[in-house]
Amino acid sequence: MMRDTQLSLLELNQLVKNTLDDAFSNLVWVKAEISEMTVNRTGHCYLELVDVDPATKAVLARARATIWSYSFRMLRPYFETTTGQAFSQGIKVLVSVKVEYHPVYGFSLNIRDIDPSYTMGDMARKRREIIQQLQEDGVFDMNRELELPLVPQRIAVVSSPTAAGLQDFMDQLANNPQGIHFYTKLFPAVMQGSETADSIIHALEQVFQYEDFFDVVCIMRGGGAQLDLASFDHYELAYHVAQFPIPVITGIGHDKDETVIDLVAHTKMKTPTAVAEFLINGAERFEQLLQDLQVRFADLLAQRLAEEQEFLEEAVASLKQGVRQLVSEEEHRFEISRLHLQNRVPRFLKQKTDRFQKYSQRLSGAGQRLLKDEMYRLHRKAGELQYRSQRLLAARQTKLDECRHVLKIRMTDGFRLQTNKLEAFEVKKRLVDPVRVLQRGYSLAYKNGRIVKSVADLGEGDQLETRLADGKVISKIINK
């Protein structure tokens, strides 16, 4: 274009607008992903649409879009009712748009219609991809392979404190007909909206800190809109549920559809109430099993007692016969032993008496000799002990006298040395005595009661007190 053909920016933008109006005179169907979405107070919806490379996730194209309030009021309910998915950022849509260009605001797309079937297909595709990825990661069946405790009574509940079915779940557990006690601990989580997955994952991480305490984890929503189910088709959330080390029971509150976390959980129930019934029924079945075992044990015990009673009666009868025979034999042996003992005891006593008298005589003589020898040894030891004690006492007395003499000499020398030091100190004290210094012709000048050490401390008109050996003089400084 030649320089003489000049256009203003407005003219250029108007040409672009006219060109686009001619090229896109009809509506165009566009596939895109909603990256940002804002609804203002007047009801207009402002969006940013992007086209993303599936492999690199790089944004290939971007455009602003609007849905005016009169269209948004119809399109949004239609889309959410049909898809069961909230109309929000992060979803892929197929929309009918009018291509527009404004000289001031630039390029934009005005959305007139939307095809929900495209989004539903994309959601189903994403769901299949999540399931396939979980299977490839080897975690899809991990939670279902865990062994459910016979009586799960310590229950971690992941739910919103305001969830519609949570109170019903708690009441049903607390008021079960069998009076079975359940311990429940609520780990709060957001159960709808874009924060659902992160919130539930955070709650599961808190439960994991008490892994050894809880028997099962119940993830429950109860009630809520059907379109909130898409929050549970989330890869990270499903991955955490699948590989969680405690059996997970879900009660999301829907009858028809299964979310991905329902598929990977250990047990899926429709509602929180159904979860409570499942837990109570399991405990009741175990209670019934215990009762059946108790009856069987009582029957077996009665049968065993009857058999043991019969065996015991036969054993007692046999024992009585054996005891009678044994007693008869022992009485016969005892009689024979008594006769033998009766004949041998007098002779045995006489032999022992003679031997005792002989030993007594020997012991008396030996004892007197031994006593005499020990008395002699004792007197000799006493004499030696007295002699050694006297020698040791004399040596100690000599040592003590030497110590006293040395101490006396050292104390005398110490007193003499301290006396000399004291006299020398007295001489020094007299030399530095201020009175003697003054007697030698010196004087001291005071200003305001303090000694003057420098001329710099004095000024004209200051009053001085001069102290001499025989008195003091008051003077005034006239010139410095």
Whole-number pLDDT of residue 228:
61
For residues 198 and 237, give the distance between their C-alpha atoms in angstroms, rounded to a whole number. 7
For residues 35 and 160, give the distance between their C-alpha atoms in angstroms, rounded to a whole number. 28
State pTM to two decimals: 0.48
Express each pLDDT in 126-172 by its tens digit: 878 888 888 888 888 889 889 888 888 899 999 888 877 888 888 88
Tokens of 92: 């892929």
User: Cα dihedral sign for 317, 318, 321, 324?
Assistant: negative
For residues 266 and 216, give the distance between their C-alpha atoms in angstroms, rounded to a whole number. 10
Specify the 3-state DSSP secondary structure of 38: strand
Specify the 3-state DSSP secondary structure of 178: coil
For residues 301 and 126, give the distance between their C-alpha atoms in angstroms, rounded to a whole number. 61
What radius of gyration do the chain's Cα atoms show?
Answer: 58
Express each pLDDT in 400-451 by its tens digit: 888 888 888 888 888 888 888 888 888 777 777 776 777 777 788 888 878 8
C-alpha to C-alpha distances, 436 to 348, 429, 472, nearest whole angstrom: 123, 10, 15
Cβ pair 206, 309 in contact under 8 A:
no
Cβ contacts of 439 within 8 Å, gap of 6 or more = 469
* Region of 67 on the Ramachandran plot (φ > 0 left; ψ -120 to 50 alpha; else beta): beta
Cβ contacts of 142 within 8 Å, gap of 6 or more = 242, 243, 264
Whole-number pLDDT of residue 196:
85
The one-digit pLDDT tens for each residue of the chain (480 residues) are 556 678 888 888 888 988 888 888 899 999 998 889 999 999 999 999 999 888 787 889 999 999 999 999 999 999 888 877 778 887 889 999 999 999 898 999 999 999 888 877 777 778 788 888 888 888 888 898 898 888 888 999 998 888 778 888 888 888 888 888 899 899 999 887 778 889 999 999 999 998 889 999 999 886 555 556 667 878 888 899 989 999 999 888 665 567 888 888 988 888 888 888 888 888 888 777 777 788 788 878 888 888 888 888 888 888 888 888 888 888 888 878 777 777 777 777 777 777 877 877 777 777 777 877 778 888 888 778 888 878 888 888 888 888 888 888 888 888 888 888 888 888 777 777 776 777 777 788 888 878 888 888 788 888 888 888 788 889 888 887
For residues 60 and 472, give the distance between their C-alpha atoms in angstroms, rounded to a whole number. 109
For residues 187 and 210, give the distance between their C-alpha atoms in angstroms, rounded to a whole number. 12
Which residues sit opposite 33 in a β-bridge?
50, 92
C-alpha to C-alpha distances, 311 to 320, 322, 323, nearest whole angstrom: 14, 16, 18
Whole-number pLDDT of residue 2:
52
Whole-number pLDDT of residue 244:
92
